[in-house]
Each structure stands twice: as C-alpha cells, then as structure tokens.
Amino acid sequence: MLGLLSGTSLLTQAQPQYVEPAIKIGVFDSEGNPIDKPKVIVYDSLHRFVKEEVVNKTDFKGQIKKIEIQNFGTYYLQFSKEGYEPIEEVRVTWKNDMVNRSPIVKMKLLNASKSLSWMWWEIGAVMLLMALQGYKIFRKKYNNKNL
C-alpha cells in the first residue's frame, strides 16, 4: 500500500503544470516609484502588432500583474505614459516554465523645464496671433475712416 501511494505521488510530481501565458513586468520611474496605468504596445517575435492597452492591473508594489498574451514565445513591448520618456523596446521571452522572471522597466520623467519652455512658446504664439488680429482690426477701421 505504501508503494502504491508513493508511486502515485511520483506520477503527480512528474506532470508539468500549466502556466497561463501572461507577461508580468514592473514599470517604475527612475526613483523606483511605480508608474500608474502605463500604455503598452505588444509585438510578436516578427515585430507584428499583437495588442495595445493601458495596463491597470497592478499588485500592491505597483508591479503589473499581467499582460495577457495568446501564446508563449518572444515579445517586444513599448511603454509610454504622459510626462515620461517612452521606452521603445523591451524584449521578453515567455516560456511554459514554473518560474517566470518579471522584468523591470524604468521610465525617465521628462524634464519639467522643457515642458515649461514649450508652455512659454505657446503663450508667445497666442499673443502674436492676438496682436496680428488686433492690427487687422485697427487697419480695417483706419482704412474705412480715410475713404
């Protein structure tokens, strides 16, 4: 009876366990803070588009729990988030293993002074357009008085 029980336990240990095809990955800023809801674009091993989504499934540490995929294999990921420099390509090979590593992606925060300089350019452009419009109105009134 003991031999039968130990044989049964050996059979159950030898059977491979199915692991759901999903990519687990951490997306953090350069200071180690998790980035909430990054956009990810997934390409297959031939760089064909697979999917695009804003990932909002994170664990308590901010790490993305999973990006669901159809099959195991090699994938290329692109990450973006407003206010951060995009990550062009992260290569992930996903196999049907018991242990799957979760890559960590670090996104660099865009320089605040760069965004402020763009803001000043926009303000300047709006003021220039307003001045040109005012000049047109003034010129139209001036021309009507002289006729």
DSSP codes, the chain: -HHHHHHHHHHHHHSPPP---EEEEEEEETTSPBPSS-EEEEE-TT--EEEEEE---B-TTS-EEEEE-SSSEEEEEEEE-TTBPPEEEEEEEE-S-S-----EEEEPBPPHHHHHHHHHHHHHHHHHHHHHHHHHHHHHHHHHHH-
pLDDT at 108 over 60: yes
pLDDT number for residue 99: 47
Residues 6+ apart with CB under 8 A from 18: 96
More confident residue, 123 or 44: 44
Q: Cα separation of 115 and 82, whole Å?
A: 12
pLDDT at 122 over 50: yes
pLDDT number for residue 118: 66
Length of the chain, in residues: 147
Secondary-structure class of domain 22-110 per CATH = mainly beta
| Region of poorest pLDDT, from 8-22, 39-53, 65-79 | 8-22
pLDDT at 9 over 90: no
Q: Cα separation of 64 and 37, whole Å?
A: 9
Average pLDDT over residues 127-140: 84
Note the pLDDT tens digit of each residue in 55-83.
876 666 666 767 888 888 889 999 999 99
Mean of all residue pLDDT scores within the chain: 77
Amino acid at 41: I
Note the pLDDT tens digit of each residue in 79-95.
999 999 988 888 888 87
